Structure 1
Amino acid sequence: MIDDIRFEGSAPLQQQLYQQLSARILHQRFPPGSRLPASRLLAADLGISRNTVNAVYDQLKAEGFLQSRAGKGIFVHEDINHRRLFEQQADTSPIASAALPPLPDPRLGAPAGTLRADGKACLPFSPGLPDLEAFPIRAWNRVLHHQESRLALRGYGDFQGYRPLRQAIASYLRSSRGLRCGEHQVIITNGAQQGLSLIADVFLQPGDRVLSENPGYRGARYALERHGSTLIPVPLKQQVLDVEALTRLGPAKLLYCTPTHQYPMGGILDISQRMALVQWAMRNQTWIIEDDYDSEFHFYNKPFAAIQGMFDNAPVLYVGSFSKTLLPGLRVGYLVVPEALVEAFVWHKRISGGETPLLSQATIAEFMDSGQFSRHLRRMRQLYRDKWSHFQARVTEHLSGLVTPVAESAGMHLVLEGAFDDAEVSSKLRNLGYGSTPLSAHFIGTASRQGLVMGFASANAAQIDGCVEALASVLSAGQGRA
């Protein structure tokens, strides 16, 4: 069936049909040997006379475009020389000489060095990557198979998200993170990154000021400055957001922070700092974006309560995802926003990303409701605690004097600071099969510190030993020295 042919203008139908069919053959939309519809069917589909179609087919056969096969139908000629035919018509084709439309402003493109090389996004020590082999795939598949036969999950869903999953998330966040929310405030997103992009869509206009931790999460920076807003760096003090510095920086539309586990330095805002932060935000009419990065993985203490639930009517937009707690490949995250903002967020999600796949949402919902999610988190905390201890021990043993670990008993990564060219050393490690990101890449503007952000959660014991030895060799040899 050919359903994209349109007749426009005053030119005869036969001429228009000939031009459109020949163009499709020349550009190999109908490749050599492909079968065309019978003239009766094509005429019925296009609402034109069969004689018109036969006349066009005859003309195309005479010119070598088509050939008939007795008892089988009409086919694109297998020996057609597309290059010769295309070159013959190139000089007379209005498409060939037309200029390209204006190109977009290059400043709207991706910042240099932000794209990962193919096949190297999941190397051991890649920050943010959980232990994929430790995921309970059999238990997950049982839940998945239970959900996949449901007819209701095969169609379209709610742009806000699958209600049972929103209910499960709200219940989990109330009990484990202290949030004040109901399922009607939860919006399911395609990963935390879409959540950050939606915040920018809802709140920001060109020229708006946005405050952001420095160093901080690069994904937030890319999302929040893409509408032409001005990103203002907020320094850290003792590995956490310097709340006192906010008074010197002036008001802003948004402030992005990771208060329960600063990324990448790992500090935690204490209660007095959180109170001061919320008071400052309320005085300055600033919305706080609370990214609960890695907050579930505190090894010696329970996860700290989120700012969103600590104060009545706190101006907080809460961002989370299942990329670290379950699998990055699920691409499922969530926002918790005040009820008055839900409609605006759902509208922007509808036009920018659409629905989140229902089957994934339903599987996560059952995984949470059945208690398997909580059990999985407990196992991962113990596993990551053991890896964290092993990694620190090897760093102390082999890298003493070469790096200074910034150690916090939480999260899935460790920062190793040092006086070396962190971009060059990170590149050398990648060539040896180990992931990392340069600490300098997390700064807005000029970096004031050098080091490596090492995601130990994705590495096994042998890989930890091998990576530390490789790093010791690179640094001891003086390669990458600043």
Structure 2
Amino acid sequence: MKILDLTDIFIDRNQPLQKQLYKALLNKIECQVFTSGSKLPSSRIMSESLGVSRNTIIQVIEQLKSEGFLVAQAGKGIFISSKTPNNISDRSFSCSNKGQFFFSESTHSLPDLSNYGESIRSSSYSLSRWPESLPFSPGLPDLEAFPHNKWCKLYRQNLDRITISGYGDSRGYLPLRKRLSEYLRISRGVHCSEEHIIITNGELEALDICIRVILNKGDLVLIENPGYKRARFLFKSMDVNLQEIQIENGTFNVDNLIKKNFVAKLLFCSPTHQYPLGGIMELKDRVKLLNWAEKSKCWIFEDDYESEFYSQKKPVAALQGLRKDAPVLYCGSFSKTLMPSLNLGYLVVPEPVAPAFIEAKGQISGPSTLLYQAILADFIGEGHFVRHIRRMRNIYQEKWVHFCTLIQSRLKSQAQLISPGTPMNLVIATPGHDDIKLSKDLANHGFGSTPLSTCYFGKIKRSGLILGCANTTTSQREEFISYLERYLIKK
């Protein structure tokens, strides 16, 4: 006689226990995971297995017996009935092909989602997908080249420190902010001190903080087109008015922006390396942009997402560093310089308004994880960070030159290199092809990419692929080009 196994039933202690157990058993019966004639374990065994009181178990069993799903046989136990009801009102059951079971209530009476919620629910391309650790996924560094041994040594040194076991300062770990401010002043020309640096859980949290502190409903926000799609959706969730600024020759025309005389509250841009087309704004235009922002009382959110790894030119100083106390919110991240799983970024804000941003950080998410901040502070302080950046620049340069050469020599008319960009973010055009479908086909073949068309806002789009070669080997680059060449010719 088969006695049923209940070990795969999960009970959430924060939800009504009786209701959960009832749904779980009923769903298994409906899906025929529990077949007719199978015996339930005793209430004592079920109680021990599920961590639920016997009284709760007995109440659920009695309910299912009264509904005809279970039958009791004197002296033998409780069994799955051979004659279950034909239908159950107000419930919907479904089973997967792997035997997993699901229970869902009728959705007809659920309240409406927000406009933002409906827009992402109906989106044809999932914006929640983050790049997998596949060759050519944009923004993914060479994880094998990361100095894991040094990082693990610092991890062990910090793991048992009681002083970093609490919540910490919402601004972030002070030694990290001090060392980061020194690095940013030297490498990026940023005007900052530890007092107005905020350590964040990545770039999106930094933007979220800025949106909440700066914007009101209906405010005008300017954003590059094409641009960072997740930023756009974050703005839309706050119900602001968005105005796209068209990208021409890799960046937007500052003179045209000034002529349009927008009364905007915030401009989101990436002047040092435009995402995704890779243009670098000239110095004269940066000065014009700052003058316009100050005169127009408009904040600039400067996304400096790939400042360390330029392929063609010496790194350009940050826009924020051109003028002290400029209305610039400077944002950076360690995801591309070190590793994405670290999920730490930073926000530099003008000192006079820093308290508002710090308070918002504390209210929205509280301090970022102290352990990783302490490890990172030591990693920077001992010189490992700068040495790693220098080493990776040389490695990435070789990969980038090889990959660009393959694209230009092998793909020819099928695809054009429209933005050589950086080793982590270069763009090829694929005219006449559905780049979303192409990206999915590449993923099935083991290659990462982002469709260029998903970065455009509005009806006018351009087909292409955003690629990274930092996380690739020589053979993978050659294999990728061969596959893409065959695909484009065939299609």
- Please indicate, yes or no, whether the TM-score normalized by the shorter chain is above 0.5: yes
What TM-score do you get using the length of structure 1 for normalisation?
0.81
**Hey, what does 1:72 align to over in structure 2?**
none
**Hey, what does 2:242 align to over in structure 1?**
231
Q: Does 1:430 align with 2:439?
A: no
**Structure 1 residues 241 and 83, CA gap change in structure 2 (3 angstroms):** farther
Q: Does 1:126 align with 2:156?
A: no
The partner residue of 2:113 within 100, 104, 108 is 104
Counterparts of 1:98 and 1:418 in 2: how far apart (Å)?
A: 41
Counterparts of 1:363 and 1:409 in 2: how far apart (Å)?
A: 31
How much does 1:132 deviate? Answer: 1.2
Counterparts of 2:145 and 2:430 in 1: how far apart (Å)?
A: 32
8 Å CA contact 2:223–2:245 kept in 1: the answer is yes
Counterparts of 2:151 and 2:193 in 1: how far apart (Å)?
A: 26
How much does 1:292 deviate? Answer: 0.4
How much does 1:231 deviate? Answer: 1.5
Deviates further, 363-372 or 415-424: 415-424
The partner residue of 1:309 within 302, 316, 321 is 321
Local SS of the residue matching 2:178: helix
Counterparts of 2:455 and 2:370 in 1: how far apart (Å)?
A: 34
Local SS of the residue matching 1:288: strand
8 Å CA contact 2:273–2:279 kept in 1: the answer is yes
Deviates further, 208-217 or 152-161: 152-161
Local SS of the residue matching 1:205: coil
Q: Does 1:148 align with 2:141?
A: no
**Hey, what does 1:240 align to over in structure 2?**
251
Q: Does 1:186 align with 2:197?
A: yes
8 Å CA contact 2:421–2:427 kept in 1: the answer is no
How much does 1:236 deviate? Answer: 1.8
How much does 1:21 deviate? Answer: 7.6
Identity across aligned pairs (percent)? Answer: 38
**Hey, what does 1:253 align to over in structure 2?**
265
**Hey, what does 2:455 align to over in structure 1?**
442
Counterparts of 1:58 and 1:426 in 2: how far apart (Å)?
A: 50
How much does 1:25 deviate? Answer: 5.5
Local SS of the residue matching 1:33: helix
Counterparts of 2:234 and 2:267 in 1: how far apart (Å)?
A: 13
The root-mean-square deviation of aligned C-alpha atoms, in Å, is 3.7
The partner residue of 2:384 within 363, 372, 380 is 372
8 Å CA contact 1:267–1:408 kept in 2: the answer is no
- Name the amino acid aligned to 2:220: R
- The runs of 5 or more residues in structure 1 that have no matched partner are 7-19, 37-41, 43-53, 66-77
Counterparts of 1:133 and 1:443 in 2: how far apart (Å)?
A: 33
**Hey, what does 1:350 align to over in structure 2?**
362
Counterparts of 2:241 and 2:398 in 1: how far apart (Å)?
A: 41
**Structure 1 residues 361 and 307, CA gap change in structure 2 (3 angstroms):** same
The count of aligned residue pairs is: 437
**Hey, what does 2:484 align to over in structure 1?**
471
Deviates further, 360-369 or 435-444: 435-444
How much does 1:407 deviate? Answer: 4.1
- Name the amino acid aligned to 2:446: G
**Hey, what does 2:371 align to over in structure 1?**
359
**Structure 1 residues 116 and 312, CA gap change in structure 2 (3 angstroms):** closer
8 Å CA contact 1:235–1:245 kept in 2: the answer is no
How much does 1:140 deviate? Answer: 0.9
**Structure 1 residues 99 and 368, CA gap change in structure 2 (3 angstroms):** same
8 Å CA contact 1:181–1:336 kept in 2: the answer is yes
Local SS of the residue matching 2:46: coil
8 Å CA contact 1:294–1:411 kept in 2: the answer is no
**Hey, what does 1:71 align to over in structure 2?**
none
8 Å CA contact 2:429–2:465 kept in 1: the answer is yes
Q: Does 1:208 align with 2:182?
A: no
8 Å CA contact 1:289–1:319 kept in 2: the answer is yes
Local SS of the residue matching 2:393: helix
Local SS of the residue matching 1:212: strand
- Name the amino acid aligned to 2:304: D
Counterparts of 1:248 and 1:298 in 2: how far apart (Å)?
A: 31
Q: Does 1:279 align with 2:288?
A: no
How much does 1:296 deviate? Answer: 0.6
How much does 1:181 deviate? Answer: 0.7
How much does 1:33 deviate? Answer: 2.0
How much does 1:24 deviate? Answer: 6.7
Counterparts of 1:174 and 1:370 in 2: how far apart (Å)?
A: 18
**Hey, what does 1:382 align to over in structure 2?**
394
Deviates further, 458-467 or 25-34: 25-34
8 Å CA contact 1:32–1:80 kept in 2: the answer is no
Counterparts of 1:198 and 1:61 in 2: how far apart (Å)?
A: 47
Local SS of the residue matching 1:469: helix
- Name the amino acid aligned to 1:371: G
